[in-house]
Structure formats: C-alpha cells, structure tokens
Amino acid sequence: MIMATSKLLAPVVIVMVLLVVGTGAGLYLTRGPGSNINSTSSGGPSKVVQVVAGENFWGSLASELGGTHVKVLSIVSDPNADPHQYESSSANAQAVANANLVIVNGAGYDDWLLRLLSASNNPAQTVLNVQKLIGQPVATNPHFWYSPYYVNDTVKAMYNDLVSIDSGNVAYYKQQYATLNASLGVYNAMIHKIAQQFSGAPVAATEDIFVYLANATKLNLVSPREFMQAVAEGNDPPAQSIAQFQQLLQGGNSSVRVLVFNQQTVTPLTQQIKSLAAEHQIPTVGVTETVQPPDVPFQDWMNAQLIALQNALNAQALGK
C-alpha cells in the first residue's frame, strides 16, 4: 500500500505512522497464527496474539487483559447491529482463520461465528466458548456478560489462554490480570451497593438481557418471562403476557419501580411499553447489547448503566 520512494527513511516513517494509527483505531492487522515481532523487554521475539471476539464486550476485556501483546478484532460493535442476526463477511472469515484465540459467546447468540470456525478448521488456534466454559446449555439466556460471576470466570479463562498461547510473557499477563480485576472491582462494588440498598425492589424489563444483572443486584424482576424471551428472540410475545405487562405498569410505582429498556432491540411494542411506563411515572433505564460507545472499557460502560439504574431507583425512593 506504500508507494516506492528514493529515500529509505520515508517508507519506514509511513509504516510506523500506519501502525500507530491502526492500533489507536482498534484495527485488526492480519499476521497469521504464530506471527512474531520483537517486542519483549528482554529483546527476544514475542508473539503478538491475534484475538477475534464475536462481540465487543468480550473483545474489550481481552484487549485490556492482553495489552500491548494482543491485537483484538471485535466483529460486532455497531449499536444498530443485532448480534443474533449478524451476517458475517469474507473479511471476518479471514480474520477468524488467522486468529490465535477466538472468543465465542455461544448459546445461539453468535452461531455465525461457530460456522466461520467450522469452515476455517484451524487446529492450531484456541477457542474460548463462554457458554461451554460456564456449563450452560445452548437453549438458555445468552446474555452472559451481564452476570458479574460469568464475567469473572471468562476473564480468568482469557488469562489462562493467553498464558498458554504466549508463555514467554507470563509476568506481563499476570500484571494485566491483576490490574483488570482491580478495575472490575469498581463495577462489582456498585452491584453490591444496589443489592444492599434495593434488595427485593420490583423492576421490569422489555427483554431478558437484564435477568442476570437483576439476580446479581437482588432486584425482583416482575415482567412476564414469556414477554422478555419473545422480544429477545425477535418474536411476538403471547397476548396474555402483553396484557400482564401493561397491567403491571398501570399499577405505577407500587408495582414497578424502574423499567429497563434494551435500546438495541426496539420494536413498536417495546416503544408502547416504554411510553406506558412514562405515563405512569415509572423511570426508564436504557441498556445496550454491546459496549457503547465502542471505544470505552467494558467496566466503564457497565458501571455507567449501573449508576443510571441506581439513580432511577433512588428517584423512586425519594419520591421524585
């Protein structure tokens, strides 16, 4: 891509600029499995681990954990994209084939990535399937990244995989792991604080993305399960569940303290539910499937949503 020149210095400078810009933008540089560059403090060759994550919530954590020793591609990061229905590209297929580590959410959430893995059939690469890691069946709620317990398990597995792939940098990964765990502690502390303040408070959600976090914060998720699951799967909820949900919201604050609204699966029905909540003075907290904005760390994104949830619950507690 670099045009020839009569001076040697110019191409070198251009290459360095491209590498810096590419890294800052989170671009994925295809080097192939086992590619090496000289980047260790001891001066020896060090593998830059190529990581492909199906979605940017796992990719963000992998990037924080791997630091300068990884190149991470998160395939789904667009806030308008539905990971359930994502259509992969030839560029995605090439990236997956070249990756040292591929992180799959599983549970039907990113089957397109499993198909890419099957097609590439690279026995030299490591695959971390979160659903299998935590021992959950395929037919289950796939929003594992909303559970702090599953997040901790997955980060530990990422650490073990990076150490296995790049054993020459164990000390580096150990330090990154400690730093990331300390950072995740802030968001875990917020979850604990909400659980202490509002344990048992009735809340509702337009889909089952909130189930794991509701459990962790000890909130009482009262919205009909059939409604939440149908919306998450892109189906029409049963009429009875719609009526039940509407009745709950019509009860106002005594029935529902906060409505959690998935901003990435908006339908006319969920908009109606949101409007009904507003009509009965029930605060709404928006959440997203993927990290938003895409360039912020996982824990900052999650913590911002938790603060919004706490503020909404506090508003009700104060009678605002």
| Domain range list for the chain | 26-186, 188-317
pLDDT of 142-165, one tens digit each? 999 999 999 999 999 999 999 999
Q: Evaluate the CA torsion angle 111, 270, 149, 54 in order and state its sign.
A: positive
Q: What token pair was written down for 302? A: 């999650």
Instruction: Compute φ and ψ for 53, nearest 5 degrees.
Output: -115, 140
pLDDT of 264-318, one tens digit each? 889 999 999 999 999 999 999 999 999 999 999 999 999 999 999 999 999 855 6
CATH topology of domain 188-317: Rossmann fold (3.40.50)
Domains 26-186 and 188-317 share a fold: yes
Tell me which amino acid residue 300 is.
Answer: D
Query: In terms of pLDDT, which residue wins out, 32 or 222?
Result: 222
pTM assigned to the model: 0.84
CATH topology of domain 26-186: Rossmann fold (3.40.50)
Q: What is the mean pLDDT of the chain?
A: 86
pLDDT band, very low/low/confident/very high, at 6 (cuts 50, 70, 90): very low
